[in-house]
Amino acid sequence: MSELHVGGLSLAFEDAKETVRKYLHSPDGSTYAFPYYDRLETTSDSNMLSDGDFLAPVLLNAPVTLGAFRSLVEVRGQLEAMLRETPADRQLADASAEELDQVAGLFAVLDDPEVETSGVRGSVLSKVMHRKRPGLIPLYDSKVRHVYRDMPGAPIERDRNRSWVQFMRLLVSSMQQDLRRSAEQWSELSEGLVTPLRALDIVTWSKSDTATNEDPALDDG
């Protein structure tokens, strides 16, 4: 298959391959977040979240304020409990419907009015959790939202009444379809250095025509 689909985008495989290659092999090692974000040394336990894990989003240009850090520390136990329910070695393309529900459920803390998550939205939380399940939990920001929800042909319709869990369930399902549609190509793009899901994010981030990768509110349009 010579063409890849990413949300509402369609692009030539060779274009995507060159995009990922540049990201993974930046000549001066300083242009992109790889390998610094992906290989940041925190804790070797994939079910534990260290203080360093909560600061990792900074390496993907997602500021972690003092309030956000404090909120993440306070929900650490809840997030770790949910992590333990998700398989550590699963790839999103191979995930069952139940496992997709589990991934979406990680974002339930953002929906619970009794849980203090000041300063934390989907982008910061996804960039904390992705490193613990890099093949299963997607990254999220305004660029991902644009490609999967806002641009012409995007698979997710706007709905101001959706919860974070509902939105993320739609997102992981759409991403799974894209990964399954071109499984061999995504495997090749990852070069054994990152997961196919991370390669998909690199393409999404690089090819989205929205100007920023900020941390959007769920219901801002």
Q: Is the pLDDT of residue 211 over 60?
A: no
Q: Is the pLDDT of residue 50 over 80?
A: yes
Tokens of 182: 């071109």
DSSP string, 19-66: HHHHHHT-TTS-SSSTTTTTT--S-S-TT---HHHHHGGGGGT----H
- Give residue 209's pLDDT band: very low, low, confident or very high (50, 70, 90): confident
Neighbours of 2 (CB within 10 A): 8
Residue showing tokens 């379809």: 177
Integer CA distances (angstroms), 57 to 33, 38, 40, 141, in order: 10, 10, 11, 11
- Give residue 27's pLDDT band: very low, low, confident or very high (50, 70, 90): confident
Selection from 191, 153, 160 nearest residue 174 by Cα: 153
Lowest mean pLDDT among 7-21, 31-45, 139-153, 204-218: 204-218
Percentage helix, strand, coil, to 5, in the chain?
50, 5, 45
Structural domain boundaries of the chain? 3-207
Tokens of 7: 């949300």
